[in-house]
Amino acid sequence: MERNITQFMDKSVIANFIAELNQHHEHHIGYCGKDALEIEQAMVDAFGDRPDLWISTLNENGQLTGVLGMDTDTATGTVELWGPFIQCAPEQWQELAVRLWGQATNKLSENRIHISKVYGFYNEHHANAITFMKDKGAKLKSRQVILHNRALNEVSLDQGKNNRIQTITPDQYESFIQLHDSTFTGTYYDGETLIRRSGKEHHYLYVLSGSEGEIRGYVYAEADPEFGEGSIEYIAVNPNSFNQGLGSLLLNKVLYELNQVSQLSEIRLCVDEMNSGALSLYRKAGFETEHVLELYQLDHMYE
C-alpha cells in the first residue's frame, strides 16, 4: 500500500506510537523513553511550537506508520535523531527510512538551518537503524551501557562518613568547574551549566570536600518525580583521591537523596562500555544492565 509523507502532528498519537515501538529492543532508540506521557512532554520541550519543522511522519490510510524527529540545537548545529520509528514489513524499513530522512532534511534546508553533526543512539539489536546510519556514512563513536536500579529503598547512609558531602557552595565553583571540565572533556553539560542547573528543584549537585575545603569528588543527578524516575548524569573523583572508596560514598549519598527527597522508584544512568571501574561501582550498588546502546555520529547531513 502507498504510504504518504504528511504533517501528522497529533502529539499524543505520535508519543504513543514511539512509546509502543520503544518497548522492543529491535526498535529501541536511546534518545526517547517508553512512557507516552513523558515522551509527549519531551516533544513539547524539544520541538516547542514548531513540531511541523522538526518532525516528519508517514501514514497509511490515515494510520501513523513512521516518525522521524530532529532534536536540533541551532546554536551548535547538532541534531539528535528521534528515530526513524517505523512500523512495516522488514523488507520495507530502509526504503521508508530514506523517505522520512529526505523529508526531514528538506525542511531544514528550506529553512536555512545549518547542521554540522547528527547523532543516532540505537539499541545494539536495532539492526535496521544501525544499517541506515552506516549507509549514510556515520561512524560508531562509543557503546554505552544503560543501567537501572529499582531498589532505592534499600540504600542507607553512614552519617559519619557522609558529613563531608554537601551541596556545592559559591567558593567551590571555580575548582568544581576545573575538575568537571577536565574529567569530562567535550561533554554535553560543562561545569558552569551544571552549576546553573543545580539550582532547579530536584536537581542535585553534591561535592565531597577535604579537610581544607578542596573538592575531592562530586556527583550530579536529576529527578522527575512526576514519572518516578531519575538519572545520575556525572560522578567523578579527583585523581589525587583515587582508590579511597569516595565514588561509593558519593553514589550512596545521591541515591539516598533521590529516594528520600524526590521519592523515586527507579534510577538510570549511562556508562561507556570501556569504563570497567564505573561499571563495577554501579553494579556493586545494585544497578543492573538494561540495554547496550551504540552512539553514531554523522559529520554531514545534506548529500
- Amino acid 110 reads E
CA distance 6 to 55: 10
Is 259 part of any domain? yes
Same domain, 155 and 199: yes
Same domain, 191 and 237: yes
Total number of domains constituting the chain: 2
Residue 61 φ/ψ, nearest 5 degrees: 55, 40
Is 256 part of any domain? yes
Same domain, 232 and 167: yes
Same domain, 119 and 141: yes
* Residue located via cell numbers 538551518: 113
- Amino acid 226 reads E
Same domain, 85 and 114: yes
Same domain, 9 and 140: yes
Residues of the domain holding 141: 4-145+294-298
Res 125: pLDDT: 98
For 74, half-sphere exposure in the C-beta direction (CA atoms, 13 angstrom radius) is 9
Same domain, 132 and 218: no
Same domain, 99 and 32: yes
Read off the C-alpha cell for 281.
Answer: 561501582
pLDDT (tens digit per residue) in 188-214: 889 999 999 999 999 999 999 988 888
Confidence class of residue 48 from pLDDT cuts 50, 70 and 90?
confident
Same domain, 35 and 114: yes
With a cut of 60, say whether residue 4 has pLDDT above it. no
pLDDT, mean over the chain? 89
CA distance 264 to 255: 9
* Domain CATH code at residue 105: 3.40.630.30
**How far, in Å, are 184, 195, 243 from residue 207 at the CA level?**
16, 12, 17
Confidence class of residue 154 from pLDDT cuts 50, 70 and 90?
low
For 204, half-sphere exposure in the C-beta direction (CA atoms, 13 angstrom radius) is 29
